[in-house]
């Protein structure tokens, strides 16, 4: 038996889930923007209290490692590492995009969608303007096209869509819909975002196989360098 705490802060969604083995026992989430630092510690306390366990009963902490928001990832990873240090527990890092693909595939299966072995899944995270963080996975959650930051135009995924039906989802997919939806093999799903509830299959597999991160040296997977905005305070440049 293992208690695994999962933290998802890579996008505007901030969520925390607690699993007993691979069974969800407690969950908190908000889509309030720029509020990760405000909610994450209280969410952790609430799920632990609701499960009626002690912090020391947690066997591992899993965190969504990115790609995604620079600030969101820093908050999630810093919180996860702090817990691991304090509790002397292992750290598990999960790809945000792969977690989304796993959650989406499970959703389709539970809703009895017609999905074949050739169907592909493309989670997208908004990276501003027409750029997205994305990757492509098959029905078994294996990576078909590697994680990348791409600018979407009418030729994006052209070769892939010739051969496969592709589901696009995530906040990045919403802005790509008008450009790619004319292709009959492109299917867009609205309002499907990252969640800590989607992390457990990957996290539990890592836990069982001892795939842990070095708590001292682990860093989020930003994919792109952080570029600070121009200060708007008078006198700063």
Which of 31-45, 161-175, 217-231 is the least confident region? 217-231
% pLDDT > 70, the chain? 95
Q: With 0-12 CB in 10 A as exposed, 13-18 as middle and 19+ as buried, what is 23?
A: exposed
Number of domains observed in the structure of the chain? 2
Average per-residue pLDDT in the chain?
93
In DSSP notation, 70-98 reads HHHHHHHHHHHHHHHHHHT--EEEEEHHH
Q: Look at residue 235 and tell me whether its pLDDT is greater than 60.
A: no
Domain for residue 88, yes or no?
yes
Domain for residue 81, yes or no?
yes
Alpha-helical segments (H) within the chain? 36-51, 70-87, 96-110, 158-163, 171-180, 200-208
Calculate mean pLDDT across residues 46-57: 98
Q: Look at residue 18 and tell me whether its pLDDT is greater than 60.
A: yes
Q: Look at residue 229 and tell me whether its pLDDT is greater than 90.
A: no
Tell me how far apart the terminal alpha carbons of the chain are, to the nearest angstrom. Answer: 54
Q: In what order do the strands lie in the sheet with 14-20?
A: 23-30, 14-20, 3-8, 60-66, 91-95
Nearest Cα neighbor of 134 from 107, 117, 156, 119 is 156
Instruction: Return the C-alpha torsion angle 206, 208, 209, 215, nearest 10.
Output: 50
Same domain, 101 and 176: yes
Same domain, 137 and 84: no
Same domain, 91 and 44: yes
Same domain, 56 and 14: yes
Same domain, 26 and 108: no
Taking CA atoms, 148 is separated from 80, 124, 127, in Å, by 25, 10, 11
pLDDT tens sequence across 157-203: 999 999 999 999 999 999 999 999 999 999 999 999 999 999 999 99
pLDDT at 30: 97
**How is residue 215 written in tokens?**
């708590």
Instruction: Tell me which residue range forms the domain holding 142.
Output: 97-189
pLDDT at 87: 98
Domain for residue 228, yes or no?
no
Same domain, 88 and 108: no
Domain for residue 48, yes or no?
yes
pLDDT at 200: 96
Which of 111-125, 129-143, 176-190 is the least confident region? 111-125
Same domain, 101 and 146: yes
For the domain that residue 110 is a member of, what is the CATH number?
3.30.420.40
CA atoms within a 13 Å half-sphere pointing along the CA-CB vector of 176: 34
Same domain, 11 and 81: yes
Nearest Cα neighbor of 70 from 113, 137, 125, 6 is 125
pLDDT at 225: 59
Calculate mean pLDDT across residues 69-77: 96
pLDDT at 236: 44
Domain for residue 157, yes or no?
yes
Same domain, 162 and 46: no
Same domain, 19 and 84: yes
pTM for this prediction: 0.92
Calculate mean pLDDT across residues 50-57: 98
Domain for residue 69, yes or no?
yes
Q: Binning pLDDT at 50, 70 and 90, where does residue 223 land? A: confident
């Amino acid at each position: 038996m293992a208690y695994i705490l999962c933290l998802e802060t890579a996008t505007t969604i901030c969520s925390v889930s607690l699993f007993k083995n691979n069974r969800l026992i407690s969950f908190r989430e908000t889509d309030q923007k720029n509020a990760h630092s405000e909610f994450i510690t209280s969410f952790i306390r609430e799920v632990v209290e609701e499960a009626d366990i002690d912090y020391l009963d947690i066997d591992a902490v899993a965190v969504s490692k990115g790609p995604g928001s620079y600030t969101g990832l820093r908050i999630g990873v810093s919180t996860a590492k702090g817990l691991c240090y304090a509790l002397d527990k292992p750290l598990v890092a999960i790809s945000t995009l792969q977690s989304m693909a796993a959650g989406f595939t499970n959703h389709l299966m539970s809703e009895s969608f017609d999905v074949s072995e050739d169907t592909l899944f493309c989670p997208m995270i908004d990276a501003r303007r027409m750029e997205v963080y994305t990757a492509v996975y098959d029905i078994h959650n294996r990576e078909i096209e590697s994680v990348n930051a791409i600018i979407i135009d009418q030729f994006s995924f052209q070769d892939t869509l010739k051969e496969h039906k592709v589901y696009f989802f995530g906040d990045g997919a919403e802005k790509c819909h008008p450009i790619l939806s004319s292709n009959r093999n492109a299917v867009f799903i609205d309002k499907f975002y990252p969640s800590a509830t989607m992390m457990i299959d990957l996290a539990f597999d890592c836990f069982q196989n001892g795939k842990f991160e070095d708590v001292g040296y682990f860093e989020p997977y930003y994919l792109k360098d952080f570029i600070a905005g121009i200060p708007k305070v008078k006198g700063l440049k």
